[in-house]
């Protein structure tokens, strides 16, 4: 006969494993991956969009969004990723803490300057961002537009360029 604690453990194991998602990952951009058919935004960071450009220390434009996505893909390599989904106030997208082994991918991206700490949603990665800023790593080596501002400007530019209905 099972002891009550062993029975409780057995009953909760399926629920715990159903919450995390583990498998190979496809990188969508510097803060979004897909694991086992589920698109997940990395909790607590905001990376440049794939089409976003930044300037290096010499003032030359470079594809910082593509570089951020490439850095995330390189960090993951062929390793399985384990993601723990989190509920958000917005509820409009799946957000997760994702790891390769013990390495928190959001922390790694912020520490290497490929993403900013997303202070609107979490304060978890401010310290890592501060280290990247202090050492002028990644985005901090030059100048850039905040990814959220770039998305906002980009959406308005797309809307303005769209033909009016009936044209």
| Domain coverage including residue 116 | 18-159
Taken in order 145, 154, 41, 69, the sign of the CA dihedral is: negative
Number of domains in the chain: 1
pLDDT of residue 122: 87
Whether 9 is covered by a domain: the verdict is no
- With beta carbons less than 8 A apart as the criterion, state whether 75 and 100 touch: yes
Mean pLDDT over 113-123 rounds to: 93
Q: What share of the chain in percent tops pLDDT 90?
A: 70
Average pLDDT, the chain: 85
Whether 10 is covered by a domain: the verdict is no
Answer yes or no: pTM beyond 0.85.
Answer: no
Instruction: State the DSSP H helix or E strand holding residue 4, giving kind and residue range, or none if neither.
Output: helix 4-19
Look at residues 86, 85, 81, 71 and name the one whose alpha carbon lies nearest to residue 30. Answer: 71
**Ranges assigned E (strand) in 3-162:** 21-23, 25-29, 32-35, 38-42, 45-46, 54-55, 61-62, 81-86, 95-100, 103-104, 116-117
Whether 164 is covered by a domain: the verdict is no
Mean pLDDT over 102-119 rounds to: 97
pLDDT of residue 86: 87
**Of residues 93 and 126, which shows the higher confidence score?**
126
Whether 11 is covered by a domain: the verdict is no
pLDDT of residue 102: 96
54, 58, 60, 62: CA torsion to nearest 10: -50
pLDDT in tens, 45-101: 999 999 999 999 999 999 999 999 999 999 999 999 999 998 765 566 789 999 999
Q: What share of the chain in percent tops pLDDT 70?
A: 79
Whether 99 is covered by a domain: the verdict is yes
pLDDT in tens, 12-28: 333 333 489 999 999 99
Whether 114 is covered by a domain: the verdict is yes
Whether 119 is covered by a domain: the verdict is yes
pLDDT of residue 89: 59
CATH number at residue 136: 2.40.50.90
Whether 143 is covered by a domain: the verdict is yes
pLDDT of residue 66: 97
Give the separation between CA 166 and CA 60, rounded to whole angstroms.
41
């Amino acid at each position: 006969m099972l002891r009550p604690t062993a029975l409780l453990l057995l009953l909760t194991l399926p629920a715990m494993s159903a919450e995390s998602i583990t498998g190979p990952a496809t990188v969508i951009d510097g803060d979004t991956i897909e694991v086992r058919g589920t698109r997940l935004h990395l909790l607590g960071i905001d990376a440049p969009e794939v089409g976003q450009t930044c300037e290096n220390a010499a003032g030359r434009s470079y594809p910082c969004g593509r570089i951020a996505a490439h850095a995330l893909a390189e960090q993951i390599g062929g390793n399985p990723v384990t993601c723990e989904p989190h509920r958000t106030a917005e509820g409009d997208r799946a957000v997760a803490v994702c790891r390769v082994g013990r390495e928190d991918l959001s922390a790694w991206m912020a520490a290497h300057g490929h993403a900013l700490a997303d202070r609107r949603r979490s304060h978890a990665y401010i310290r890592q961002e501060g280290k990247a800023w202090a050492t002028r790593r990644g985005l901090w080596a030059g100048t850039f537009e905040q990814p959220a501002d770039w998305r906002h400007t980009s959406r308005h530019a797309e809307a303005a360029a769209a033909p009016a209905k009936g044209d």
